[in-house]
Chains A and B, each alone.
Chain A
Amino acid sequence: MNWNGAEDAGLPAASLPPPPPLEWKFSQVFGERTAGEEVQEVDIISAIEFDKSGDHLATGDRGGRVVLFERADVRDRGSRRDLERQDYSISRHPEFRYKTEFQSHEPEFDYLKSLEIEEKINKIRWCQTANGALFLLSTNDKTIKLWKVHEKKVKRISKMNMDDSQAIGNGSIASSSANSPRAYLPNGGCSERPYNHLSSDFLFPPGGFPSLHLPVVMCQETSLVARCRRIYAHAHDYHINSISNNSDGETFISADDLRINLWNLEISNQSFNIVDVKPANMEDLTEVITSAEFHPTHCNMLAYSSSKGSIRLIDLRQSALCDNHFKLFEEHEAPVPKSFFTEIIASISDIKFAKDGRHILSRDYMTLKLWDINMDSGPVATFQIHEYLRPKLCDLYENDSIFDKFECCLSGDGLRVATGSYNNLFRVFGCVPESTEATTLEASKNPMRRHVQNPARPARSLGSLTRVVRRGEATGVDANGNSYDFTTKLLHLAWHPTENSIACAAANSLYMYYA
């Protein structure tokens, strides 16, 4: 871990001594595999996201499904404002239970381009809750959808004016039963309905007809329903890699390899292109957009990362087309001699704003970097994730693992960061200056199995860490160290917005930890 100018970087709690390292404990697992069970491709989790309150968690998978979990340790689910005021007791850690799931995307075929569109969920983002209903955006490669999940009353209707027996008895009324053929008018009306024969001179007595009455509706139970409210389609020529809600509550962006589009949540048939990095000649293409996110509080600011390892901050106020960034963050000096892989591993796979809006966390293949948006000379901190893989980059390139897109996340208090690695490992770092916290955990019921608490020298002791980890799995490694399991990679993880709790995906299983 390298610290650059941390003193004046205004890191959270800079003046305080670093908090003690967290003791991570296993909390829950959903979709755990039994021994020897094959993982179905469609079940592999491809997106994880907590909502703003931390009361809900959503996962998306390669089969196009979205699964929702809700917090189970909050018993009295009163009004939202009550919940905000309520202090969670510290002893309790977040526990979640399955809430519902729905099929968000289906596989499609683009006939114009002869292209299959996978149903895999690339990203999920939560929107503002309203009226007790949950709203979230989900996207695959091409199409973004807005979903509403809410409790719908299950109604039982009784005491109709016309009961069924009567209806069958009268031929003219039989058409009211739901399965009889009807002639719909183009305007959605329904022709040939008996009441259309109600002549205009039909006289209504002043007191009405006492024999008529309204149906009685009884609702005992409710059921959870997910409805697709809007579909934002046909705006991306390339694959969508991120979506992000704006703090103004009415707009969001979607980014693909070359463009970023701005949408209004209410309008699904138009979007505005705000960033376009497509060169006039595609042969001149040297850099693509890999991830984009809105600033958590400033509605005019957003950041996007590129395959060359740079992060650009743009200001929507400056102009309608934001091809010019107003700040550029990139690492200037090359710490290691350039090799064939230098550019590939520099590609940023994910960026996240810290809650304070001042810091941006980025993940490239080998490191996590923390940037201060007021300091564009370089990252304020760099964390090595799996330095022991550096000699193996060639193998990783050959089996395409080098292009794996790892996500990263920050804790709600901004004191720690986390990201995933291979062998279902993930790492948590303290990002306060002087912090030595660098924990390695495994996504299993016993996370500390491979846990190595780094003793004194964080950054330079990575070699020893590597050895420890290797020793831990010595049985699986041959002399060349080639048998790392690059298929068990932990790409997706999310930190609870208010508590020290991490949800991470190992293939089809969702593991949750707390500290």
Chain B
Amino acid sequence: MAMIDEPLYPIAILIDELKNEDIQLRLNSIRRLSTIARALGEERTRKELIPFLSENNDDDDEVLLAMAEELGVFIPYVGGVEYAHVLLPPLETLCTVEETCVRDKAVESLCRIGVQMKENYLVDWFVPLVKRLAAGEWFTARVSSCGLFHIAYPSAPDQLKAELRSIYSQLCQDDMPMVRRAAASNLGKFAATVEQSYLKAEIMSIFDDLTQDDQDSVRLLAVESCAALGKLLEPLDCVAHILPVIVNFSQDKSWRVRYMVANQLYELCEAVGPEPTRVDLVPAYVRLLRDNEAEVRIAAAGKVTKFCRILGPQLPIQHILPCVKELSSDSSQHVRSALASVIMGMAPVLGKDATIDQLLPIFLSLLKDEFPDVRLNIISKLDQVNQVIGIDLLSQSLLPAIVELAEDRHWRVRLAIIEYIPLLASQLGVGFFDDKLGTLCMQWLEDKVFSIRDAAANNLKRLAEEFGPEWAMQHIIPQVLDKISNPHYLYRMTILQAISLLAPVLGVDITCQKLLPVVIASSKDRVPNIKFNVAKVLQSLVPILDQSVVENTIRPCLIELSEDPDVDVRYFANQALQASDQVMMSS
């Protein structure tokens, strides 16, 4: 055993623990691989550490994942970009393990290293690696290779490029569906590096094969590359090659394929240009909006605004709006919910008249939907419509729906609507709010569910911030203070909570005149929980009130509470007294 100098013990242990039995220690050592590398120096890192890692690769997945990640940023520790290629062998073996997340990380690290490597090094080291993986015995290696072509290809000389293209096309016909899937999902990235002439000839024929694969799971991914390829091709070629494929896909037997098309279709509109969009894509999209399968309609409905934005006002009114009308009364609540979440965005696209004539009835029917998610999705985007049609029209139709949601029997729905109230208040203004929503806000303070009462108290605070103290004095405070006489102590507690939240917003005067007397009176409550909450509220009031008020009103009350028979009341009263002492001292 070599003798180790005292200061090197930590590193020596770190190195030894690369092979410890405890996985946590191994993991820790791998995460500090850069420290080990610096301690060994660049040359020994290249000659010893990296080969050591290459050989010891049958570790647990967590360790391998960490190793794959570390090696991706290891170039500085092996001596810079000239030596980057020494990092390839350990990553190559990591590309073949069966755990997908390790392979993906290894591919990611290889790409990260590859983009930094010099061209001739890429040809000498990186391209052969890609070829080896692509010819791998197990599908895992071949799957990984698919994600590396776009790095290897650009720097390769012509002959090698031809070879790489033909290897890729073979991968697209691999026996294993997993490999074909990887090839399909990486096709877009690879195609972006291929020259225009080969793009049309070779990549498109690969693409055609993938679109006719027997396995749904492969065709599904081919749809994804449609949009990517479409953007690479000239509009004319795109119309000639991609358009027929996507139109076919939109009528595929498999709902999963149609679902993918519904998600991707709008991206192609720009690639093919306006005329083919009108002639082919709009009818395809209309078909998807009326698909038999609810999942497809959900995807299509969710993209309706994006699609319309590309088309401009005319086409949607003619073709899309009728479908939207149907979808608003779709049998699946999820379809309606998806539609509700985006339909507000159509108002600016269509303009005021069309919105009032066509969209408003749809909004209304969605607002009256029996399914709360649908209604919530509409309400959360109201501001977009407000700008187009104005507040009056909106408020007439809106209010009944809000009232209904505010009284929904699911407390989560009530909670969601409470959270929108301040937003609505700012959008709709004081007048509207006073008439319609004021009473609701008070009702919530006496909800059966704590979370609702809590949210209601917070809501009052945010409203007071929005409309100012004077408004609050008139419209909130009297009603709130009335409720302190509620026979149930839990509701009285909510009022105390509301007071402590409102006090900082309303200012010293109102607090002293209106709020403080109520709090002090509550200190005589018969329920200890109220009493110690009084202590807490008083503590929170100390910093914002005048010293004289604290001295004359608050402290006597707290001292009285600190002699309460209940231990919790005494505890919180003493806490508050201590806090007030500190405030006094500092001021």
Chain A contacts to B: CB under 8 angstroms: 79-81, 128-133, 135, 148, 152-153, 155, 157, 159-163, 166, 170, 172-173, 176, 178, 184, 188-190, 193-198, 202, 204-209, 211-215, 217, 247-250, 266, 297-300, 316-320
Among B21-29, B404-412, B485-493, the one that faces the other chain is B21-29
Among B48-56, B154-162, B318-326, B426-434, the one that faces the other chain is B48-56
Name the distance in Å between A207's Cβ and chain B's nearest Cβ: 5
Listed by A's residue number, 6 A-B pairs whose Cβ atoms lie within 8 Å are A162-B1, A204-B38, A208-B41, A212-B40, A317-B252, A317-B256
A157 closest partner in B (C-beta): B19
Contact B254 A166 (CB under 8 A): no
Contact A215 B255 (CB under 8 A): no
Chain B residues near A172 (CB, 8 Å)?
9
Cβ-based interface call for B357 (8 A): no
Across the interface, B58 reaches (CB within 8 A) one of A153, A204, A206, namely A153
A166 closest partner in B (C-beta): B1
Cβ-based interface call for B295 (8 A): yes
**B209-242 contacts to A (CB < 8 Å):** 214-217
Rounded to whole angstroms, the CA-CA distance of A190 and B24 in the bound complex is 8
Across the interface, A162 reaches (CB within 8 A) one of B4, B52, B214, namely B4
Rounded to whole angstroms, the CA-CA distance of A155 and B216 in the bound complex is 44
Among B137-145, B302-310, B529-537, the one that faces the other chain is B137-145
Contact A173 B41 (CB under 8 A): no
Cβ-based interface call for B419 (8 A): no
Contact A161 B16 (CB under 8 A): yes
B5 closest partner in A (C-beta): A211
- Among B20, B28, B58, B255, the most chain A Cβ lie within 10 Å of the Cβ of B58
**Given A208-B40, A209-B5, A299-B214; 12 other pairs, CB 8 A cutoff:** A81-B137, A148-B98, A157-B19, A193-B10, A196-B10, A208-B39, A211-B8, A212-B11, A247-B177, A300-B216, A319-B292, A320-B294
Chain A residues near B214 (CB, 8 Å)?
297-299
Contacts A128-B139, A131-B138, A317-B216; A213 near B2 (Cβ below 8 A)? yes
Contact B15 A215 (CB under 8 A): yes
9 shortest A-B CB distances, which residue pairs?
Answer: A208-B41, A195-B10, A317-B254, A161-B12, A130-B98, A163-B1, A204-B38, A208-B40, A207-B41
B53 closest partner in A (C-beta): A214
Rounded to whole angstroms, the CA-CA distance of A214 and B1 in the bound complex is 12
Rounded to whole angstroms, the CA-CA distance of A104 and B2 in the bound complex is 46
Rounded to whole angstroms, the CA-CA distance of A208 and B78 in the bound complex is 12
Chain A residues near B56 (CB, 8 Å)?
217
Main secondary structure of the interface of B (DSSP, over half): helix
- Report the count of interface residues on B (CB-CB < 8 A): 67
Chain B residues near A215 (CB, 8 Å)?
15-16, 18-19
Across the interface, A250 reaches (CB within 8 A) one of B13, B55, B138, B178, namely B178
**B257-293 contacts to A (CB < 8 Å):** 257, 292-293
Contact A211 B18 (CB under 8 A): no
Contact B177 A249 (CB under 8 A): yes
A317 closest partner in B (C-beta): B254
Chain B contacts to A: CB under 8 angstroms: 1-5, 7-22, 24-25, 27-28, 32, 35, 38-45, 48-49, 52, 55-56, 58, 96-98, 100, 137-140, 176-178, 181, 214-217, 252-257, 292-295
Rounded to whole angstroms, the CA-CA distance of A297 and B295 in the bound complex is 25
Name the distance in Å between B100's Cβ and chain A's nearest Cβ: 6
- Among A148, A195, A250, A266, the most chain B Cβ lie within 10 Å of the Cβ of A195
Name the distance in Å between A477's Cβ and chain B's nearest Cβ: 54
Rounded to whole angstroms, the CA-CA distance of A141 and B19 in the bound complex is 40
Rounded to whole angstroms, the CA-CA distance of A277 and B45 in the bound complex is 62
Name the distance in Å between A366's Cβ and chain B's nearest Cβ: 38
Chain B residues near A207 (CB, 8 Å)?
41, 43
Contact B25 A190 (CB under 8 A): yes
Contacts A249-B176, A320-B295; A131 near B98 (Cβ below 8 A)? yes
Chain B residues near A135 (CB, 8 Å)?
98
Name the distance in Å between B149's Cβ and chain A's nearest Cβ: 22
B141 closest partner in A (C-beta): A131
Rounded to whole angstroms, the CA-CA distance of A319 and B140 in the bound complex is 31
Rounded to whole angstroms, the CA-CA distance of A93 and B35 in the bound complex is 57
Contact B137 A212 (CB under 8 A): no
Contact B254 A300 (CB under 8 A): yes
Contact A194 B5 (CB under 8 A): no
Chain A residues near B178 (CB, 8 Å)?
128, 249-250
Contact B24 A176 (CB under 8 A): no
B23 closest partner in A (C-beta): A188
- Among B98, B214, B252, the most chain A Cβ lie within 10 Å of the Cβ of B98
Rounded to whole angstroms, the CA-CA distance of A166 and B20 in the bound complex is 17
Chain A residues near B4 (CB, 8 Å)?
161-162, 166, 211-212
Contact B96 A131 (CB under 8 A): yes
Chain B residues near A298 (CB, 8 Å)?
214
A320 closest partner in B (C-beta): B295
Contact B3 A211 (CB under 8 A): yes
B62 closest partner in A (C-beta): A188
Contact A211 B2 (CB under 8 A): yes
Contacts A152-B58, A318-B255; A195 near B25 (Cβ below 8 A)? no
Contacts A248-B177, A320-B294; A131 near B24 (Cβ below 8 A)? no
Across the interface, A266 reaches (CB within 8 A) one of B42, B100, B294, namely B100
B179 closest partner in A (C-beta): A249
Chain A residues near B39 (CB, 8 Å)?
204, 208-209, 212
Name the distance in Å between A268's Cβ and chain B's nearest Cβ: 13
Chain A residues near B11 (CB, 8 Å)?
195, 198, 209, 212
